Amino acid sequence: MSYSEIKPISDVLRKCSSPCNFLVFGLTHETLLWKALNHNGRTVFIDENRYYAAYFEELHPEVDVFDVQYTTKMGEFRELIASTRDQIHNECKPVQNLLFSECKLGINDLPNHVYEVDWDVILIDGPRGDGPEGPGRMTPIFTSGVLARSKKGGNGKTHIFVHDYYRDVEKVYGDEFLCRENLVEANDMLAHFVVEKMDENSYQFCSNTNIKISFFFFIILIVFVLKAHSSSGYQMVQVKGHGIPDSLIKEVKNVSHRFFDLPYEEKLKIKMNAAAGYRGYQRIGENITKGIPDMHEAIDCYREMKPGLYGELGKPMEGHNQWPLNPPNFKTLMEEYAALCTELSRKILRGIALALGGSADELEGEIAGDAFWVLRIIGYPGVSSARGQDLAENDIGCGAHTDYGLLTLVNQDDDITALQVRNLSGEWISAPPIPGTFVCNIGDMLKIWSNGLYDSTLHQVINSSPKYRVCIAYFHEPNFDAAVEPSDICVKRTGGIRKSGKAVYGEHLVNKVQTNFV
Ligand SMILES: O=C(O)CCC(=O)C(=O)O
Ligand SMILES: [Fe+2]
């Protein structure tokens, strides 16, 4: 660790009233330093390497080290968050004695007294391994979050430091279990959280201030969409204040540029094919809109589904996403991005349901409670490079269409205006990029469900700039097997006449991928 990383930890230890209880995950170069900085207090180290822990204790009998066996794998960090959320009222409660817990992320095999101490400061600088097979720091972060909230007496606050905060697991788990609202200071290397104890019946790690802010934002969004619809505006909004980190929004575009810059042979290594459930790379011109090849290349990704889950309906879409191997964090970055877009879209849909006079979860359950998603990573060549030298100025990057699902979140390059939206007077209006915001399109499924109260957004893409343009489009879809039809609340609001019949989402998607892509 550098001086600037050690300093905030040492400052907190210095101010910690003696005797200070300091718990450290990871035996590192700094182990003896931590012990020395907390000379009047109790310092305990936890490490996954049993042999090294024993060796270290032998060399330094004054240092308390306990070994722990982590059973998690870094590659499953996202699934583990989902299963922990499911168990938040049971095994994975924020306040509990982990000694008796079966929560996969909780360490339950340390000596009993470790669970009885009220820890004042916790540092997470281990385990080391950061490949997909490594254990990751999911368990230490979750465990620290629980220890801090379950304190019995003394100081109700715990300082928790997470090292290597630039990495996905550290960031995502820090945000989930230590919470942004508790973040006192952070830079790429180190995050400092101050977490307070909670009462026994708490079932939330974070207070979800995002959601509260979002509700204000939804009201504005919904009023705007409805107003736009009733005047001659357009059915497109730009979403701001959404809580998805700017750095992630930028990084997914950066890595996509790097992929599209590769020679064709390289990109074709992940070529789309039926065995992968139509996932993978499509060359320029392979995507077709209304019979005309689009001037773009793309990687198509779909939410992966358990084989057999949707029977014959789902079979053609079963398969694994094909991610580029370079840069190595491409997959985790995109998966993390899709997970955050899913969360954001659900919030927007809750706002829309409320605005339409229903309950917030009107679009959950059988409609979109287990929403399918599509992620298209799209590259549009600039005018002079798409098809040799003679490309017409207005060659179509993506022909006029409406998106099929519920909502789309478009994350486009900041310096090129290429997306156009048609307003109700039939004019094409540019949707210029606004850094940090998403263009949010309404899809056909929302049009059906709202019985036309929300119209789907007709849009097209023309990149007439000389620069290559990248867009990451996240499509939030209904449940794969949802039969979407006009909802009773919207039918009532629109005079009692159903404007469309039922559409089974998965049927449409299968039909599209099997006929559209060559
Ligand atoms: O590139 C864009 O801005 C939008 C892409 C799009 O409309 C689509 O993929 O459906
Ligand atoms: Fe679209």
> Which three-class secondary structure string do you get for 376-395?
EEEEECCCCCEEEECCCCCC
User: Where in the chain is CATH 2.60.120.330?
Assistant: 233-514
| Three-class secondary structure of residue 195 per DSSP | strand
Amino acid at 476: H
Residue indicated by tokens 């450290």:
24
Atom of ligand 1 nearest to the CA of 469: 1
What pLDDT does residue 212 have? 43
Give the closest residue (by CA) to ligand 1 atom 10. 403
Q: If you measure from the C-alpha of residue 468 to the centroid of ligand 1, how many angstroms do you get, rounded to a whole number? A: 15
Cα dist. 200→86, 168, 190 in Å?
18, 30, 30
DSSP 8-state assignment for residue 161: E
Q: Which one is the CATH code of 3-196: 1.10.600, 1.10.287, 1.20.1070, 3.40.50?
A: 3.40.50
Pocket of ligand 1 (CB under 6 A): 376, 378, 398, 403, 410, 412, 419, 459, 461, 471, 473
Asked whether the predicted pLDDT for residue 221 surpasses 90, the reply is no
pLDDT digits (tens, 9 = 90+) for 385-443: 555 444 444 478 999 999 999 999 999 999 999 999 988 778 898 988 988 889 999 99
Q: If you measure from the C-alpha of residue 142 to the centroid of ligand 2, how many angstroms do you get, rounded to a whole number? A: 39
Q: If you measure from the C-alpha of residue 299 to the centroid of ligand 1, how many angstroms do you get, rounded to a whole number? A: 13
| Three-class secondary structure of residue 483 per DSSP | strand
pLDDT digits (tens, 9 = 90+) for 106-156: 999 999 999 999 999 999 999 986 678 899 999 999 999 999 999 987 789
404 CB-near residues (< 8 Å, 6+ apart): 443, 444, 445, 475, 477, 508, 509, 512
User: Where in the chain is CATH 3.40.50?
Assistant: 3-196
Please state whether the predicted TM-score (pTM) of the whole model is above 0.95: no
pLDDT digits (tens, 9 = 90+) for 274-301: 999 999 999 988 888 888 888 999 999 9
Distance CA 364, CA 243 (A): 21
Contact assessment for residue 489 and residue 431, using Cβ atoms and an 8 Å cutoff: no
pLDDT digits (tens, 9 = 90+) for 81-104: 888 988 888 899 999 999 999 999
Distance CA 227, CA 232 (A): 9
Distance CA 33, CA 7 (A): 12
Residue indicated by tokens 């101010």:
15
DSSP 8-state assignment for residue 180: G
Atom of ligand 1 nearest to the CA of 419: 3
Question: Which CATH code for domain 233-514?
Answer: 2.60.120.330
Ligand (nearest to CA of 431): 1
| Three-class secondary structure of residue 442 per DSSP | strand
Contact assessment for residue 57 and residue 85, using Cβ atoms and an 8 Å cutoff: no
Q: If you measure from the C-alpha of residue 200 to the centroid of ligand 1, how many angstroms do you get, rounded to a whole number? A: 47
Atom of ligand 1 nearest to the CA of 460: 7
Q: If you measure from the C-alpha of residue 275 to the centroid of ligand 1, how many angstroms do you get, rounded to a whole number? A: 25
Give the closest residue (by CA) to ligand 1 atom 9. 473
Contact assessment for residue 144 and residue 122, using Cβ atoms and an 8 Å cutoff: yes
| Three-class secondary structure of residue 100 per DSSP | helix
